[in-house]
Structure formats: C-alpha cells, structure tokens
Amino acid sequence: MENNNHLEFFKSKNILITGHTGFKGSWLALWLTELGANVIGYSLDPPTNPSLFQALNLKERI
C-alpha cells in the first residue's frame, strides 16, 4: 500500500513564491494550489504575453 502522507503536507500551509509569474514559478504555484496550499506570490510582470501565469488563470487562484 502506498503512503500518501506527503500529499497532505502542503494542505493549508502558507507558501511564498518569488517569481510566480515566470515559467517555473507558475507551475510551482499551480501544483501547490492543487495540493491545497495558500500561495502568495511576489514577482515582476509576466515576461511574455500571453504568459503561462495568465493561461493557467493563476491570478484568480493565488
């Protein structure tokens, strides 16, 4: 039987991501919100238009 306790680790945790509008930061923000974390981001404007941050609609999720 597989142990999934690590999936519960981020649930309701407050996580700060610097660079959340970039490619890697957007994916990290998406995964952490899917795991139930409260994500707070700090970064420059998205580097491209449209960006992955915009395509994933992360502004509404974090």
Q: Would you list the domain boundaries of the chain? A: 28-62
- Cite the DSSP H helix spans in 1-50: 5-8, 23-34
- Answer with the residue of higher pLDDT: 4 or 16: 16
pLDDT per residue as tens digits for the range 38-53: 999 999 888 788 899 9
pLDDT at 37: 96
Q: Is 25 in a helix, a strand, or coil? A: helix
User: Does the pLDDT value for residue 1 go beyond 70?
Assistant: no
For the chain, percent of residues with pLDDT exceeding 90? 56
- Give yes or no for a cis peptide into 46 (omega within 30° of 0): no
pLDDT of residue 48: 82
pLDDT band at 2 (very low <50, low <70, confident <90, very high): low
Amino acid at 21: T
